[in-house]
Amino acid sequence: MINTTLCYIEKDKKYLMLHRVKKVNDLNQDKWIGIGGKFEDGETPEECVLREAYEETGLTLQNLEYRGILTFVSDKWPTEYIHLFYSNAFSGDLIECDEGELEWVPIEKVYSLPLWQGDKIFLKLIEEKVPFFSLKLEYQGENLVNAVLNNEKIV
């Protein structure tokens, strides 16, 4: 099992999205996702997301909100626990990311991008300011076959 972080950074009703086009054998290849990455030994979720955000974007996050835990289950990839964050305050200037192209995308247009199907579920939960949640997303290939929110099946 893998522990990672994922953060959606908002500015002017836009999310900073990462179009994953630069890594080889990337489970997120060609998808648009938020910012984040794998834990280093001894890191808390907050330490990990702050480090990853800075490394990938050059931004120092402030007003960090820990929004939920995602359990990503796939028939092709190892199970991943994704610690989900949101921030609407930061300092610094964007840098080039070695994992893909960074772009500020209007929130209403994010849903038309190539995303994992389950991302649309948790992005709505973030927007609706749902309190801390647990969301299990099960995939066969790239197809979402099961989604369970706070122990209740929703897909």
- Centre a 10 Å sphere on the Cβ of residue 128 and count the other Cβ atoms it contains: 7
Phi and psi at 118, nearest 5°, equal: -65, -25
What residues does each domain of the chain span? 2-153
pLDDT digit string (tens) for 95-132? 999 889 999 999 999 999 999 999 999 999 999 999 99
pTM score? 0.94
Tokens 């772009």 sit on residue:
103
pLDDT digit string (tens) for 44-69? 999 999 999 999 999 999 999 999 99
Instruction: Look up the CATH superfamily of 2-153.
Output: Nucleoside Triphosphate Pyrophosphohydrolase (3.90.79.10)
